[in-house]
Amino acid sequence: MLMPLDMLRSGETAEIEEVSGQAAWVGRLAELGIRQGCRVRVVQSGSPCLLDVNGCKLCLRGGECSQILVRPVS
Amino acid sequence: MLTKTLTVALVGNPNAGKSTLFNALSGLRQRVGNYPGVTVEMKKGQFTAGGLTVDLIDLPGTYSLAARSPDEMVAVDLLLGRRPEEPRPDVVLSIVDATNLDRHLYLTSQLLDLGEPVVVAVNMIDAAEAQGVKIDCTALSAKLGVPVIPIQANKGIGIEALTQAMLAAAEEAKAPVGPAFPEAFEKEVTSLQTELGADVPGFLTRRLLLDVGGYVEAWQVEHHGQDLKQKLAEARQRLADAGHSVPGVEARARFAWVRAAVAVGVTRPAVRPVAFTDKLDKVLTHRVWGTLVFLVVMFLMFQSIFLWAKPLMDGIDGVREDIAKGIEGNMASGPLRALLVDGVVKGVGSVLIFLPQIMILFGFIAFLEDCGYMARAAFLMDRLMSRCGLSGKSFIPLLSSVACAVPGIMATRVIENRRDRLATIVVAPLMSCSARLPVYVLLIGAFLKEGYSSWVPGLVLFALYMIGFVVAPLVALVLKRTLLKGATPVFVMELPAYRRPKIFAVLRRMLEAGWAFTLRAGTFIFAAMILVWALLYFPHRDANGESYPNRIEKAEEAAKSNEDKLKELKAKPDATDDEKAELEKLEEAAGQADHLNGEWKRSSYLGRTGLYLEPVFRPLGWDWKIGMAALASFPAREVIVGTLGLIYDVGDVDTKAIGNDDADEEAKEKAAGLAKAVKDDWSKDPIRSKYGVAVAMSVMVFFALCCQCASTLAVIRRETKSWAWPAFTFVYMTVLAYLGAMVTFQFGSMIIDAMG
């Protein structure tokens, strides 16, 4: 099941399926490790939220999270 | 013998330890901040190795070479040798973080496409080992096709091997090979290249195709016309149809390459241990606990700024007074002495007195940044700040401005987004700084103490502080919607791992901030103070052509010679009428010097301007005296207390004595006397006697909103590198202050009328 990243709760892990939005922003996120096929763990949900991407902590706002579609991994 | 020069460019992600390596190589010290985007300017260093002089250029930290702004393009152009001021680098030094190799090697893969020799420095190899990550640099080097050197930049380990590798790479001058892109992509690049001609390097042609809406696209479309835009769109569509849509194709190609290399060179433990940083973050980024810790940290910070700075500030003040006395004792009175004492010593002293506060604040900021806490604070505050169109990074500068806007504005350097930074700079002076306090205390003491409940003064003071806290975000919001409008910047912030801050780097940063403040803001305020002094000093002769300073001195001498007699008469319980008359005369003579001083100020150029401008001040409920005092305090708002003292004939009032119980008796008496003199003077006037409270409130609101601080404007000029922003700040704040004061007075007088 696909859902926006901001739907995940703290502690949940998901695989990124699609990142939409402005090309520049998609590119920037890809550089930071948020791109199709990568795994993220939500450290803290809400806006801004805290994500763990490959052991690196990133902070994103809710509006931006909703443009990232993920597939939760149980 | 001429030594050959080698140019090396140092490139890496933010927090890779770039600045530390730069220092370790060149021996030049600079700031090392544990915060994304700390190196805003390019730094250069030089060292000799193997008989060669090496020029080392430190490029701003970046995650990729996909330039989105002219700022980012400078780094790309420099790497390609397209900047006239720097030769093309002989070697590109790519620094990567061993604990985050996958991510950092992405940038390395882009550097390989530049066509220059690349040397990879794997930094913080010890931290990786502590996490159980083993990196085989020989295997990695074989896979990447470039030298890979393990280093620990903070301890200087591996620096020698790195230098040797750079020299060897420069000698060999072999262009490395980057990741392979799909054939369809290469075909589009080739056809685009023939379109653009040989002037555009292949690297930029690839970026043109990849970076949708990037800087290269804007630049080339401007050059070749809309025709190119059409061709680009078609090419991108063809790629998308073939399953290689941009910009995804780049991330896939590069990360596949990175994954293949890491698979050979890196062994990871099966389970990632819960790191110290994670445990700490559980508390520090927690909604409740984290906010609590943040509030405590902020409270301690501001408390220490006031507590620790006070003895130092008193010391500076003491030295200032000693110098002033020394000059007064050794020079005959006249314009020159007055200029030296009142203009130079007091003027510059009133600026230097902020130095301890600024250095302590910067020490704190440097410490919090270096240990990695600042990014957490920005994360916590982002929710609040996003409501007014700013980001969490604006919070610390705004909070610092409550102490003083000058360090607050300097602290905006951590904000990467230009529009956010400008909005923060422009609203920072609205925060109620410590220099406004004397004005508030004086006027509240005079008009809102007697006859009011004991909680009224505190409430008014709180309300005055709230004006800043409420108006600043509102102005920021308006600015972000109008003047600084633009696409909402994507807010992605990396929270770096916690590190032990380096004392040397913190001290260095404090000294840098202190020196920058002294040197530049100092020269500007110096000139401004002399100007106001001159406007208050000249013309210094009365109608009969006699000099005021001489008359004042004579009056003072006369008062001094009669001092004993005055005391004696005062002490006498059963004085005769004659003696009483004499006492009155003597008392008048004692006040003569202050009276003359007041007359002189009134006839000065500034005083005349005040009288001339009286109609402008009328809607605010002010007379020319208040207007003139407000005018004179434009270079520095604290000046109003002293100026009011001069105008109301009380003499020189010590600003510090107001609201300060430790001040000596005489100074306190004078301060209390000023409040009384202002009150007495206003009671003689029909408007100000009836609406005294409204007038006092209007003055205070004016001071709360007005930008009466030349140092702040000078710092804004320095930080924005333009006169337009300080001018804008000054104009909008003055207009706001005028309107605010007018509304306050009109509204206040209406209420007073209604109450009868």
Closest residue in A to B63 (Cα–Cα):
A31
pLDDT tens digits, residue range B489-498?
Answer: 667 778 888 8
CB distance B695 to B617 below 8 Å: no
Contacts with A55 from chain B: Cβ below 8 Å = 99-100, 272
pTM over 0.80: no
The full length of chain B comes to 756
| Residue B175 phi, psi (nearest 5) | -75, 130
Out of B215-219, B454-458, B689-693, B738-742, give the one with best mean pLDDT.
Answer: B738-742
Nearest Cβ partner for A59 among B100, B277, B495: B495
Cβ separation B102–A64 shorter than 8 A: no
Q: Does residue B63 sit at the A interface (CB-CB below 8 Å)? A: yes
Confidence check: pLDDT of B36 > 50: no
Contacts with A69 from chain B: Cβ below 8 Å = none
What average pLDDT does the segment B116-137 reach?
89
Rounded distance between C-alpha atoms, residue B442 and residue B700, angstroms: 10
Rounded distance between C-alpha atoms, residue B205 and residue B210, angstroms: 9
Residue range of the domain that includes A7? 3-73
Alpha-carbon gap: A62 to the closest alpha carbon of chain B (Å)? 10
Alpha-carbon gap: A26 to the closest alpha carbon of chain B (Å)? 8
Q: What is the pLDDT of residue B35?
A: 32
Q: Return the DSSP state at B152.
A: B
Q: What is the pLDDT of residue B728?
A: 95
Contacts of B664 (CB under 8 A, 6+ apart): B657
Confidence check: pLDDT of B350 > 70: no
Confidence check: pLDDT of B28 > 70: no
What average pLDDT does the segment B697-701 reach?
92
Nearest Cβ partner for A50 among B66, B247, B379: B379
What average pLDDT does the segment B728-754 reach?
93
Alpha-carbon gap: B382 to the closest alpha carbon of chain A (Å)? 7
Q: What is the pLDDT of residue B141?
A: 92
What average pLDDT does the segment B287-309 reach?
80
| Interface predicted TM-score (ipTM) of this complex, two decimals | 0.83
Higher pLDDT, B144 or B462: B144
Share of chain B above pLDDT 90, in %: 14
Helix B639-647 to helix B577-603 angle (10° resolution) is: 130
Rounded distance between C-alpha atoms, residue B43 and residue B41, angstroms: 6
Alpha-carbon gap: A1 to the closest alpha carbon of chain B (Å)? 23
Rounded distance between C-alpha atoms, residue B169 and residue B112, angstroms: 13
Rounded distance between C-alpha atoms, residue A19 and residue B243, angstroms: 16
Cβ separation A59–B491 shorter than 8 A: yes
| Average pLDDT of the residues of chain B | 80
pLDDT tens digits, residue range B620-659?
Answer: 888 877 888 888 788 777 767 666 766 665 555 555 555 5
| C-alpha angle A60-A62-A64 in degrees, rounded to nearest 5 | 65
Confidence check: pLDDT of B42 > 50: yes
DSSP B344-402: IIHHHHHHHTTHHHHHHHHHHHHHHHHTTHHHHHHHHHHHHHHTTT--GGGHHHHHHTT
Least Cα distance to B483 among B475, B494, B491 occurs for: B475
| C-alpha angle B345-B348-B350 in degrees, rounded to nearest 5 | 100
Out of B328-337, B433-442, B624-633, give the one with best mean pLDDT.
Answer: B624-633
Q: What is the pLDDT of residue B38?
A: 34
Q: What is the pLDDT of residue B678?
A: 77
Q: What is the CATH number of the domain that holds A9?
A: 2.30.30.90
Higher pLDDT, B184 or B577: B184
Out of B156-160, B280-284, B332-336, B661-665, give the one with best mean pLDDT.
Answer: B156-160
Q: What is the pLDDT of residue B302?
A: 66
| C-alpha angle B544-B550-B555 in degrees, rounded to nearest 5 | 100
pLDDT tens digits, residue range B545-567?
Answer: 777 777 777 777 777 777 777 77
Give chain A's domain count.
1
Cβ separation A35–B211 shorter than 8 A: no
Q: What is the pLDDT of residue B33?
A: 35
Interface test with B, best of A18, A40, A57, A58 (most B CBs within 10 A): A57
| Residue B215 phi, psi (nearest 5) | -70, -40
Q: What is the pLDDT of residue B521?
A: 56
Least confident residue range of B231-240, B388-397, B639-648: B639-648
Interface test with B, best of A56, A65, A66, A69 (most B CBs within 10 A): A56
pLDDT tens digits, residue range A12-40?
Answer: 899 988 887 777 778 778 878 888 888 89
What average pLDDT does the segment B710-717 reach?
85
CB pairs under 8 A between A and B: 100
Q: What is the pLDDT of residue B119?
A: 95
Q: What is the pLDDT of residue B57?
A: 86
pLDDT tens digits, residue range B180-203?
Answer: 888 889 998 898 888 888 888 889
Least Cα distance to B556 among B600, B590, B505 occurs for: B590
Confidence check: pLDDT of B7 > 60: yes
Rounded distance between C-alpha atoms, residue B470 and residue B73, angstroms: 38
* pLDDT band at residue B522 using 50, 70 and 90 as cut-offs: low
Alpha-carbon gap: B368 to the closest alpha carbon of chain A (Å)? 18
CB distance B472 to B431 below 8 Å: yes
CB distance B698 to B741 below 8 Å: yes
Rounded distance between C-alpha atoms, residue B47 and residue B490, angstroms: 39
Contacts with B379 from chain A: Cβ below 8 Å = 48, 50, 59
CB distance B739 to B673 below 8 Å: no
CB distance B66 to B214 below 8 Å: yes
Residue type, B379: F
Cβ separation B382–A61 shorter than 8 A: yes
* pLDDT band at residue B528 using 50, 70 and 90 as cut-offs: low
Rounded distance between C-alpha atoms, residue B287 and residue B530, angstroms: 51
Confidence check: pLDDT of B37 > 50: no
Q: What is the pLDDT of residue B305?
A: 67
What average pLDDT does the segment B506-533 reach?
73
Least Cα distance to B130 among B316, B261, B317, B273 occurs for: B273
Q: Between residues 26 and 65 of chain A, which touch chain B (CB distance below 8 Å)?
A: 26-33, 35-36, 43-44, 46-48, 50, 54-61, 64
Q: What is the pLDDT of residue B487?
A: 66
pLDDT tens digits, residue range B76-108?
Answer: 888 888 877 778 899 999 999 988 887 789 899
Q: What is the pLDDT of residue B661?
A: 56
Q: What is the pLDDT of residue B34?
A: 36
What distance, in Å, lies between the first and last C-alpha atoms of chain A?
A: 12
Confidence check: pLDDT of A45 > 90: no
B644: tokens are: 């009011």
Q: What is the pLDDT of residue B418?
A: 81
